[in-house]
Structures are given as C-alpha cells and as structure tokens.
Amino acid sequence: MMKEKLEQIKAEALRQIEASDALEKLNEIKVNYLGKKGELTAVLKSMKDVAPEDRPKVGQLVNETREEIEKVLEASVKKMERAVREAKLKTEVIDVTLPSKKNKMGHRHPNTIALEEVERIFIGMGYEVVEGPDVEKDYYNFEALNIPADHPAKDEQDTFYITGDILLRTQTSSTQVHEMEKGKLPIRMIAPGRVFRSDEVDATHSPSFHQIEGLVIDKHITFADLKGTLAEFAKELFGEDTKVKFRPHHFPFTEPSAEMDVTCFKCGGKGCRFCKGEGWIEILGCGMVHPHVLEMSGIDPEQYTGFAFGVGLERIALLKYEIDDMRLLYENDIRFLKQF
C-alpha cells in the first residue's frame, strides 16, 4: 500500500521535473514534494497508522524516495542554471577587437592661451592681475577717465546702456579707476576682461571682445618706464628681435598718449602680405596717466605719476596664431579650436 503510494509520488515528481522549463518551476516542485507541507512529509506524518514493526521499513522507503527525487531535482537545477548562463553569455558577447571609444578632451581657447601668455609676462615683472565689473557706472567708464559728456564714444550708437547711468563697459580702463580708488600705492596691475561696443559683427569687429588694461603708479614713473616695459612685453610676446615704435595719439585719460607698433614678426619689418607691406603692426594704446585722472581718484599728481596701456586680447590671439577672421574665435568649432 505505502510502497505503491510512494512509487506514485516519485513517478509524478519525476514527470513534473522532466516537464519543467524554468528554475522557478523546479523550486515549486521542491516545495511541493520535499517541503514541510510537502507530500513526502505528509506520508511521514501518517506513520502512526502503520504497524510498529513495519515502520522502519516504510521510513527507509520514504527516505529513499526523497533522496531520489532530490538527486534528479538537483541535476535538473544545475542543468537549467547552466543553460541560462550560456544563453546570457551569448547575448552579452564583447568583441575585444573593436576600436575603443575615444574620450573627447576639451581644449583651451586661443584667447585663453594668449591671455595666459600676457599674464605670465606681466606677473614676471611684478604685476598683479585684477578684475573689474562688466556692468559699470558711467562714472567709471567715462567720467573718471576724463571723457567729457559730449564725447562721441558715449553715443548710444556705440555704447550699450542699461539705464542712463549704467552701461556695459566699453573699455577695461574702468578698472584703473577702481584700483586707484582703493588708495593703495604703488600700483602695478593688469586687468583682463570683457568689453562691449555696439558694433556689427565682421572679420575685425564684435559687439563683445576682450581687452587687457595695464596701470603703473608710483613716485618717479616716467615715459621711459612705459617704453622700457612695453618694449620688453613685445619681445617676450613676439620674439627677441621685435622692435617697437611709438606714434603720438590722443586718449582723454593719458597725456602724452601714444600708439605702439611692433615690427612684423613674419618679415622682421621688411614688409609682407601679413603686415600689408608696412613692416609694422599696431598693437596697443598707452600714455602717461593724466594728472586730472589721478586727482579725481584721490591721488596727488605732484607726488605720483604713472603710465597706462590697453591692448586687445583678440588682436594678440589673431596675430600670434595668424588667424584672419575674428569670427572664428567665437564660433566654437572644435575643428578650428583644437589647432592651437
């Protein structure tokens, strides 16, 4: 009786195992037959109905049945696990011979490279690098720099006004005033930054570009200091053989004022296509700080003198890297930028 029942249970269990196509199903079979509430346990529980002398025999039969089911079940689980793993491996093949994905690294902009070069040169001469605000009061951009109210630069056609009194600075010269107002002397500073003018975009103009301002104020500063400093700057930037030339000019905040040219670093001054046959290239504006400008910012012009200069950063970048269209600097085309 018991033996038959056990045979039946075993046959049914093995049939189900055979028919299983998933690990979950095998687990279910395990619970159903071997678990605490499983069929074999139920048989053990009914042992009390078996005659005591038959009990060891029946017990042994139950154990044998259990072991056999366990054995087949375990083998099935292993087989199925292997199959699952193999299927997974097949879908996850990695072709180690494929070329790797390259990380695209960013690149410093030609403006940044040129600025760092200029900063390096002036830091080497003991200058401090400072910054001023892009949005300025009229006073800092014009008035304190001796630029009269009727000056053409103040026209709305040239300057972006935010209100009647607040504007986007048109020149980094405004930082001169901020530095002088701090009241700490002597001053040896350069101030790089963005400036804004109401210009149409073309090969040489942009409504936003960059300048680097320079200011030195101390006792006994003369035009000779200006010349020596800027000649040294030109040599370091464009090469040891570079010569400089100063042409008289006018800026309201300097007196006397000049524009500085450098010998063309392509032809050495002979004249070529690059310098349009001139041999010289205009590079910056400069001059001795006007006594009235010193006075307005609280510096005694009887005791202190100084020189200032302003140079266009894009101009330097374009010259140094021989780029002939300023627009290229702003288009952010990586194919262009990564050449420098």
Binding site for ligand DAH (CB under 6 A): 171, 173, 213, 251, 254, 285-287, 308-310
Question: Smallest gap, in angstroms, from Cβ of residue 159 to ligand DAH?
Answer: 12
CA 86 vs. chain centroid, Å, equals 44
Residue 157 Cβ vs ligand DAH, minimum distance, rounded to whole Å: 16
Q: How far is the CB of 165 from ligand DAH (least distance, A)?
A: 20
Contact of 193 with 211, CB cutoff 8 Å = yes
Complete edge-to-edge strand list for the sheet that includes strand 254-263: 128-129, 187-196, 208-218, 305-312, 280-289, 254-263, 244-251
Residue nearest to ligand DAH (CB): 310
Report the candidate in 221, 217, 197 with the shortest Cα–Cα distance to residue 207.
Answer: 197
Between 281 and 308, whose beta carbon lies closer to ligand DAH?
A: 308
Q: Which is nearer to ligand DAH, 76 or 159 (CB)?
A: 159
> At its nearest, how many Å lie between ligand DAH and the CB of residue 150?
18
Please name the residues in contact with 106: beta carbons below 8 A apart, sequence gap of 6 or more.
none
Would you say how long the chain is, in residues?
A: 340
Q: Which is nearer to ligand DAH, 192 or 310 (CB)?
A: 310
Residues 6+ positions from 118 with CB-CB distance below 8 Å: 190, 192, 212, 233, 237, 311, 313, 316
For residue 275, give the 3-state DSSP assignment: coil
Closest to ligand DAH by CB, 9 or 118: 118
Shortest distance in whole angstroms from residue 251 CB to ligand DAH: 4
CB 204 within 8 A of CB 245: no
- By C-beta, is 192 or 285 nearer to ligand DAH? 285
The distance of closest approach from Cβ of residue 197 to ligand DAH in the complex, given in angstroms and rounded to an integer, is: 9
Cβ distance to ligand DAH smaller for residue 238 or 309: 309
**281 forms bridges with which residues in the sheet?**
262
